[in-house]
Chain A
């Protein structure tokens, strides 16, 4: 158990819909990261937040957005969902920047 929690574990929805994935970092960690893992793309970095502020952006689509709240939990919002958005979405946290990232169990999203 990494100490990072993600909800929900599984999510099934339809194309065009919007979903919100939630992540609670380890106690004391200020940074939260979001990754997407699909069969054909591997593990892709999406975005990083540090103490409430966006710090790094990866291959995140404009239909996706994220935020980190004052209590440091984070939410990843996926809208206008497409079949290709079906993937595992992982959240990770670390104390600051360079330290080890601890990954959560992931949310498996299936878009039908």
Chain B
């Protein structure tokens, strides 16, 4: 499984756009890039997943360059409630019901008033 590297922490202010970049140099051809969000004492929550180019949902956007060696999670106009830990994961495709998520240390985002 490809290793991911992301900043340990980030600070932002309410209303700003936050971009968290994740490096995954050894990503395999068929791997997907997935982001989870975790609030203190709660289980992680799926945010977004993509394979290439750009994916957008109601919560975030995910930008993946052509070489797929990195990805950027973009959170538009953050609020205090976006303060959480954000995990970038590289996930292999479905294969016989096998799916093992490897969580790194994540990025601790603090949003200030």
Q: Which residues of A contact B (CB under 8 A)?
A: 2, 4, 30-31, 33, 35, 42-45, 48, 50-51, 53, 55-56, 58, 88, 90, 92, 94, 96-106, 108
Contact = CB atoms under 8 A, between A and B. Distances in A.
Given A42-B104, A42-B105, A96 B97 contact: yes
Given A42-B105, A98-B91, A103 B99 contact: no
B97 A99 contact: no
Contacts of B98: 48, 50, 55-56, 97
A104 B94 contact: no
B97 A55 contact: yes
Interface string B26-43: 000000101000100111
Contacts of A2: 43, 45
B44 A43 contact: yes
Which among A30, A44, A94 has the highest number of chain B CB atoms within 10 Å?
Answer: A94
B41 to A, nearest CB: 7
Contacts, number: 79
Contact of A48 (B42, B100, B103): B100
A29 to B, nearest CB: 11
Contact of A106 (B43, B45, B101): B43
B49 A100 contact: yes
B46 interface: yes
A77 B46 CA distance: 27
A92 B32 contact: no
B63 to A, nearest CB: 20
Contacts of A30: 97
Contacts of B87: 43
A33 B93 CA distance: 17
Given A42-B104, A45-B101, A101-B101, A106 B41 contact: yes
Given A100-B46, A101-B46, A102-B46, A31 B41 contact: no
A98 B96 contact: no
Given A45-B101, A98-B32, A100-B49, 18 more contacts: A31-B99, A42-B103, A42-B104, A42-B106, A43-B44, A43-B87, A43-B103, A45-B102, A56-B98, A56-B99, A58-B100, A90-B44, A97-B96, A98-B91, A98-B94, A98-B99, A101-B99, A106-B41
